[in-house]
Structure 1
Amino acid sequence: MRTSRTLLGFFNASAFCLFWLTNHAVDSAKLSAPEKVTGAYGGSVTISCQYNQRFRNYTKYWCKGPVYELCTILQKTPKRKDNDRGAIVDDQEAGVFTMTMTSLNKSDEGKYWCVIARLGRNTYIGVQLELSDTVITTTSTPFITNEEASWWMALRWILFSIMLFCVVATHIITWRIKAVRKTPPQQQLHHQNSQNIYD
């Protein structure tokens, strides 16, 4: 009995981890942005956040804070805040929203977040802004194309099917083990003898 419970727990834990990893991988394919952007003091910088086309009509926003859950929203679509030093533009045809910050100063340095507002859980990615007296440079990550996003979606369903098969198989094996253990010893012996006769 203890063995079957351990086996069941192992497969359930593995299935949960597999589902979480595939879901995380798909989330990462929904939104992409530069990891780090360097701007010049007094200058301006534009950060582009690319998203999957199925989120074209969703609200996007730009917020600041070391931790996403506690970040402060600076700009939001479609209702942009009146701000002489920052503006957000959502190009739904291209699947990109951009945030432009001007007159950069020391207080502008820090962690920012590109965010797609969704029911349940928002999709977000962090961007580190650093300032210097040198020429502006940008370190970016490759954008995820729609074909790559579709590939991730297909992979998720394949892995989910494998996970579901493992869970069902585990339950069947556990049920059969319990059924054998509940069978009276004399009936088990009779069944074993019958098998020996046919062998």
Structure 2
Amino acid sequence: MQLFVLRCVTSAVGVIHVTGYVGSIVKVSCSYDEGYESYEKYLCKNNCGGSDVLITTSESWKNKYRINDDKTARIFTTTISDLHSEDAGKYWCGVTITGKDIYTEVELKLVPGKQGLPKNEL
């Protein structure tokens, strides 16, 4: 059994609330501070252990996840497609920094049906 110890700094942004529709897609956009443009970014779920990392900016596309880093705006966006009820829950946007990654909490809520585009709330 592997043990992952994470020291994290939570962003001052607070929690990003995102609502999506089952069977649809949702976009999760996370901002980061100046100076981190060249660092790797990622989206993870649960405790962010090895298998909890869903996608990184070095991959761009993995399974149902796509990620794009707009270094000019300093925002990276992860698109999650084919949403299912088990996709709801807590996620973390992360920036890989030696010794202490920077995290922003994301809460994804799903509602039944496909009633238009997902709604993002900050």
| TM-score using structure 1 length | 0.50
User: 1:113 aligns to what?
Assistant: 92
Number of equivalenced pairs: 111
- Give the greater-gyration-radius structure (CA): 1
Distance 1:71 1:110, change over 3 A: farther
**Is 2:107 aligned against 1:125?**
no
Higher strand share: 2
Within a 5 Å distance, the mapping from 1:125-144 to structure 2 comes to: 125-133=104-112, 135=115, 136-140=118-122
Moved over 4 A (4+): 68-71
Give the share of equivalent positions with the same residue, in percent.
33
Distance 1:81 1:138, change over 3 A: closer
Structure 2 residues not aligned, in runs of 5+: 1-8
Structure 1 residues not aligned, in runs of 5+: 1-23, 141-199
Alignment match of 2:69 (pick from 68, 90, 96): 90
Alignment match of 1:77 (pick from 54, 57, 60): 57
Kept in 1: contact 2:18–2:119 (CA 8 A): yes
1:48 maps to a residue whose letter is: S
Alignment match of 1:50 (pick from 31, 54, 60): 31
Instruction: Measure the CA separation in 1 of the matches of 2:60 and 2:43.
Output: 11
Instruction: Measure the CA separation in 2 of the matches of 1:49 and 1:33.
Output: 11
Within a 5 Å distance, the mapping from 1:161-180 to structure 2 comes to: none
Higher helix share: 1
Kept in 2: contact 1:35–1:128 (CA 8 A): yes
Looking at both structures, which has the greater relative contact order when contacts are Cα pairs under 8 Å and sequence separation is at least 6? 2
Within a 5 Å distance, the mapping from 1:6-85 to structure 2 comes to: 28-29=11-12, 32=13, 35-65=16-46, 67-68=47-48, 72-83=52-63, 85=64
Structure 1 position 33, deviation (Å): 7.1
Residue aligned with 2:62, SS: coil
Kept in 1: contact 2:57–2:67 (CA 8 A): yes
1:74 maps to a residue whose letter is: L
> Over aligned residues, Cα RMSD in angstroms?
2.2
2:88 maps to a residue whose letter is: E
